[in-house]
Structure 1
Amino acid sequence: MNVTRIWTQGRPHTNEYVMEYTISYGTNGQDYADYKESGGDKMMFRGNSDGDTVHKNEFEVPIIAQWIRINPTRWRDRISLRVELFGCEYDAYDMYFNGSSLLKYDLYREPIAALRETIRFRFKTTTPNGVVLYSRGTQGDYLALQLRDNRMLLNINLGFNEVTSLSVGSLLDDNIWHDVVISRNRRDILFSVDRVVVQDKIKGEFQILNLNTGFYIGGVPNIQEGLVVVQNYTGCIENLYFNSTNLMYEVKEALQYGESYKYQKVNTLWTCPEPQIVPVTFKSHQAHARLKGYEGMASLNSSFAFRTYEDNGLMLYHAFSGSGYVAVSFVYWKTSV
């Protein structure tokens, strides 16, 4: 569902109401993402001032989700909340890429030469690196969007032979849907992941982006200028819009009505399968698994399910590169962080 606004009330004829809350959302009822401000912090929504008045909040960027979680942070007397959500149906056109896949849109017949454009889409993945979007022109222009170490990296060049790089997001390989927006107006560029925004001025004097070879989604057939990762993307991409055109929908229509010459579709699926769950059994008190860590991250996110007959045990441990650590354990069947 595409959720656009939320109305709240407290308990009628009382002083029991929620004054402030945050919102998280998801698609499977288990994994949730926080609705964030443009600076990256959780957005705090203003609630009610009495039990009867309706307070209305609108989402500047709609929430696309099946599950909505409201997390009260301040309230009067007791947490009492009546809620109504407003929105509309959401049509999802998904495509899955397996690391050897790509989708190519042929720009030889319809080259792009524009002062402004907007690209927006959703993605989810469990892989920290991969080429997401790529296109270039014969005059040296290119646009390269890629996942690198769990962050989204955009390299863009308007033919000035000097690249402009923007990076946003963290821990994006969590298998949760993330929203991406790239909006350019001449040399002004806005890059957003999950409403966290970075803006910059593209280097050089040129203002037009010229792309006239191919527009690649999910990977490239060989190494290209502007790319810093070598592997193709693994995961799902949903409703990729170039300006007002949903390319995923266009591809499906073209293949159905005999205009497939515009597109080259390699090893992709019209679905978004969930990653296979691989259970691991630790057979002794000394058994453990050591995974590669990440440096320079502002946050850490981990989730897992477990079962055991033991009454004590250390389940997760990570030492920070500076000082301190985080440990998840259970002692007499109670979990502790």
Structure 2
Amino acid sequence: MEKINVRRVLVLAVAFATLFLTVIDAVKVSFYGASHIVMPLQEAKISTNIRLRFRSRLDNALILLTAGRTDYSLLSIDGGRIRFSFKIDEYHTDLWSPVTLKFNDLQWHDISISRYAANLTMQIDEYFATKTLPSNVTELNVHFGVFIGGVGDFSAPYLNPLEYFRGCIADIFYNNINIFKRARERTGHVTNERVSWICAPEFDADVTTPVSFLDDESYVILQKPTSRSGDRWSLEFRTNEPFGMLLSNIPTNPRYDFMALEIVESQVRLLVGKGSNAVELIPDRNVSDGKWHNVSVTYSPMLVDITIDDVTNSATFANGSSQMIELEEEFYIGGYDLRKKRKAFMKGARATESSLKGCIKDIVLDDHAVGFPNFKVTHGVTVDCVWRYPCIEKQPCIPSGQCHHQGIIDFICYCDQAYCIKADYADSYKIFSRSDLVLEKELMMINPMEVMEGGIAFLSPKYIDVLFDFTKSGIQEAGIIFHIVQPPKHGKVTIHSYGSESNASATQMKFFSHIDLTTDKVKYTHNGAENSNDHMTIDMQ
């Protein structure tokens, strides 16, 4: 169903020039705190060359490791400084950046490390450090490969625990091997885990930026020191789903206590376990309505308290219970990873099957705002609240229809008529197939068209976009036919017949093809009346 918005437009003649430039952009890769790339490699060389660029907020993180049985080279962020550790046989040495310079400032920094025979050099931006190695230091023996951002399941006696990298890395070469190129093209048996091939905007976000949880596996991890006296949390969330996880601390070690704040059957449920005692609170408030809701939680060795908007519930632990509440350091927000889901279920959490499908913002922990800069791990999230609820906010269906949200921004109207969407609905929307299948197929995307009063505009795929691949079904472009069921009220649609420009004729017809759309054959002409909106109804056959 095509909608046309008619707007009075003041047309100005503007002279301009365009300069066309060809830019070859670097390959930038985002690492999210649990990401890594592994390139298998076996070699023994007296030369080592490493080049890369990076940006991060982390004080400590692994950037790159080349691993042998006893030999290794390790590039890391250590206390905001850059450290290059180098070990061959029994010889070990470190090169450090200056104490006065910090490189965890989220700016891009260039690193180049070169070793040939006895000469070892590290350059970071404009800073140089050099060292002469003993003459008996020979080849660096690499057996297990090159690891970037993290080590996955790999372990070695010489490898102390290091935080996974969180931030962006670009232009990485090891001994002139373009590792990212191999990883992206999946050549040379290079594997990657939870990376993306951009520098994600979340690394520039601040604590006020909302978090969108996009799929069933989305979550973030926030790490804080253990407090035996309890914590105070507050946050705002938005969803229309009846189940979802908001905040939890599920222990790996069973000696620790636990807490889970979740949405169960459209109500917020707080579960706090301390020793052999547990407290459950469920305020009487429906929160699965697509609106923003504020939740505040306080738990201590004696008291548990929760407020949803203006509804407050509280409870105390049983007499004689422990005088402290001890949680582990990692809090999960919005969902669980696979290893935590079963543990959460065993503790009594009920919203474990799927992450929160919605948004969270304004997270405050013990009077301190926290957000993207503080997250240890993010997975399946993006910045800002991208979820839309048109069924609630726009009411696009006819009165007898039922509106169901579809995905992050779309909707489907169900009714017993041929056309279920309001004829005057003026926003963009998708049309889905009608079937008994669980997943409806996307057919078309409809976008509003703006026309000058009394002016003309050509219908094109910009306004009627066919989303499914009809060529795979053996359908030719000319076989996609559109039928004008209800013409516009304040204008007319004409279809130009094929032929040369001079012989082309325009007729008011009720049918046009996809080819007509792509070749400016379908023209809308406004009648000049002072109406700001017009619409017509179209079938695809």
- Equivalent of residue 197 in structure 2, options 246, 270, 285: 270
2:200 partner letter = P
Percent identity, aligned pairs only?
A: 24
For residues 273-332 of structure 1, the C-alpha deviation after alignment (integer angstroms, 9 at most, x for no partner) is: 13222239xxxxxx99699xxxxxxxxxxxxxxxxxxxxxxxxxxxxxxxxxxxxxxxxx
Partner of 2:180, secondary structure, is: helix
Deviation at 1:174, TM superposition (A): 1.2
- Equivalent of residue 240 in structure 1, options 172, 175, 178: 172
2:175 partner letter = N
1:67-106 superposed matches below 5 A? 89-106=23-40
CA distance in 2, matches of 1:156, 1:225: 15
- Equivalent of residue 76 in structure 2, options 146, 163, 176: 146
For residues 235-257 of structure 1, the C-alpha deviation after alignment (integer angstroms, 9 at most, x for no partner) is: 1110101232221122222x2xx
CA distance in 2, matches of 1:226, 1:187: 23
1:128 partner letter = D
For residues 218-269 of structure 1, the C-alpha deviation after alignment (integer angstroms, 9 at most, x for no partner) is: 111355455555211111110101232221122222x2xxx3x611211111
Which residue number in structure 2 is paired with residue 13 of structure 1? Answer: none
Q: Does 1:134 align with 2:65?
A: yes
1:173-212 superposed matches below 5 A? 173-203=104-134, 205-212=136-143
1:200 partner letter = K
1:212 partner letter = H
CA distance in 1, matches of 2:43, 2:155: 22
CA distance in 2, matches of 1:262, 1:113: 19
Q: TM-score, normalised by structure 2?
A: 0.33
For residues 137-164 of structure 1, the C-alpha deviation after alignment (integer angstroms, 9 at most, x for no partner) is: 23x21101110111110100122x2310
Q: Does 1:157 align with 2:87?
A: yes
Large movers: runs of 4+ above 6 Å: 287-291
Q: Does 1:217 align with 2:148?
A: yes
Partner of 1:251, secondary structure, is: helix
Partner of 1:250, secondary structure, is: helix
Deviation at 1:202, TM superposition (A): 3.0
1:137 partner letter = G
Cα pair 1:131 1:230 within 8 Å, conserved: yes
CA distance in 2, matches of 1:96, 1:104: 15
Cα pair 1:95 1:270 within 8 Å, conserved: yes
CA distance in 2, matches of 1:130, 1:246: 22
- Equivalent of residue 167 in structure 1, options 96, 113, 124: 96
Count of paired positions: 189
Deviation at 1:98, TM superposition (A): 0.9
CA distance in 1, matches of 2:122, 2:158: 17
CA distance in 2, matches of 1:235, 1:104: 17
CA distance in 2, matches of 1:225, 1:185: 26
CA distance in 2, matches of 1:201, 1:228: 26
1:261-300 superposed matches below 5 A? 262-274=189-201, 275=203, 276-279=205-208
Deviation at 1:192, TM superposition (A): 1.1
When residues 239 and 127 of structure 1 are mapped into structure 2, their CA distance, relative to the original with a 3 A threshold, is: same
Cα pair 2:207 2:369 within 8 Å, conserved: no
1:166 partner letter = L
Q: Which has the higher contact order (CA 8 A, sep 6+)?
A: 1
Cα pair 1:131 1:229 within 8 Å, conserved: no
Cα pair 1:166 1:191 within 8 Å, conserved: yes
Cα pair 1:151 1:168 within 8 Å, conserved: yes
Deviation at 1:102, TM superposition (A): 0.7
CA distance in 2, matches of 1:204, 1:142: 18
Which residue number in structure 2 is paired with residue 30 of structure 1? Answer: none
1:152 partner letter = I
For residues 35-87 of structure 1, the C-alpha deviation after alignment (integer angstroms, 9 at most, x for no partner) is: xxxxxxxxxxxxxxxxxxxxxxxxxxxxxxxxxxxxxxxxxxxxxxxxxxxxx
Q: TM-score, normalised by structure 1?
A: 0.51
Cα pair 1:123 1:177 within 8 Å, conserved: yes
2:95 partner letter = L
1:11-50 superposed matches below 5 A? none
Deviation at 1:212, TM superposition (A): 1.5
CA distance in 1, matches of 2:31, 2:44: 28
Gaps of 5+ in 1: 1-87, 281-286, 292-337
Cα pair 2:182 2:190 within 8 Å, conserved: no
CA distance in 2, matches of 1:268, 1:206: 36
2:123 partner letter = S
When residues 290 and 235 of structure 1 are mapped into structure 2, their CA distance, relative to the original with a 3 A threshold, is: closer
Cα pair 1:146 1:229 within 8 Å, conserved: no
When residues 225 and 183 of structure 1 are mapped into structure 2, their CA distance, relative to the original with a 3 A threshold, is: farther
